[in-house]
Amino acid sequence: QVQLVESGGGLVQAGGSLRLSCAASGRTLTRYVMGWFRQAPGKEREFVARITWSAGSRNYADSVKGRFTISRDIAKSTVYLQMNSLKPEDTAVYYCNADGSGFGFRNYWGQGTQVTVSS
């Protein structure tokens, strides 16, 4: 019932910036927590950032605090991840997530967008 499409990934040098977008469609997102996860080659998918759709409360992984900012545009049903001061260890496929488990709904995932940070 929720479709997520990520965009904005690419190749940047260390210290650069990227802005990822996740466009959502389908049911209302008011009962969902929207977030970003990433998965590097050979590693498990890890949490990056999340934001509640209704209140805009944010939470970040320690590894990205102070560098990444998650936000949402309610009118556009879009969540963003502004990534600054990128490091090579940020290289991963970034996935958008809609988490409805707190309200008895399932998780939805986008297909991912590749972020590569070169040194």
- Residue 86 pLDDT: 98
b/e map 4-28, b = 16+ CB within 10 Å: bebebbeebeeeeebebbbbbeeee
What is the distance between the alpha carbons of residues 106 and 88, in angstroms, rounded to a whole number? 32
Cβ pair 79, 34 in contact under 8 A: yes
What is the distance between the alpha carbons of residues 22 and 112, in angstroms, rounded to a whole number? 9
The two most distant CA atoms of the chain are separated, in Å, by 43
DSSP symbol at 110: -
User: Amino acid letter at 11?
Assistant: L
Q: 65-101 pLDDT, tens per residue?
A: 999 999 999 999 999 999 999 999 999 999 999 999 9
User: Band of the pLDDT at 1, cuts 50, 70, 90?
Assistant: confident
